[in-house]
Amino acid sequence: TNEVHGLWHGTAAGSVNGINESGFNRSYCGRNATVFGEGVYFARDIRYSASHTYSTPDHYGIKRIYKCSVLVGRVMQGYYGLKVLQDSYNSAADNIYYPSVYVIFHDFQAYPNYLITFYNYRIN
């Protein structure tokens, strides 16, 4: 299937130029997590991608996330160490029945539509 989802991707300031110029690059995977495979991660929930783990603030406290179009297609269950998808699958996920995190293994499957910058602060 050619199913495209609008998903979120958190990143650090130092990765923005590369993503803007060349798109996503799975060779950088593993910076934060590879629990569902060694690819590029996208989340359904903005809060997941906006967390400090995936959207690390710069020295001014500014964070960055992308709203992306991601071709998820046919989804298989992801697992630690997954590097190549089984035949006929297009992506992996944390849960094939109710996925909240998707992993892609071909860089052309995701397009960064919008870069959102924000300052995350807490009110006591």
pLDDT of residue 29: 63
Q: Show Cβ contacts of residue 90 under 8 Å, excluding neighbours closer than 6 positions.
A: 1, 71, 72, 73, 74, 75, 104, 109
pLDDT of residue 121: 64
Tell me: pLDDT of 1 over 70.
no
91 within 8 A of 75, measured Cβ to Cβ: yes
Q: What letter represents residue 14's amino acid?
A: G
**CATH numbers and ranges of domains, the chain:** 4-119 (3.90.228.10)
Span 52-102, pLDDT tens digits: 888 999 999 999 999 999 999 999 999 999 999 999 999 999 999 999 999
Token pair of 28 as six digits = 């950088």
pLDDT of residue 74: 95
pLDDT of residue 63: 94
Span 26-47, pLDDT tens digits: 776 665 568 899 999 999 999 9
Separation of alpha carbons 111 and 121, rounded Å: 29
pLDDT of residue 20: 92
CA angle 34, 73, 115 (to 5 degrees): 65
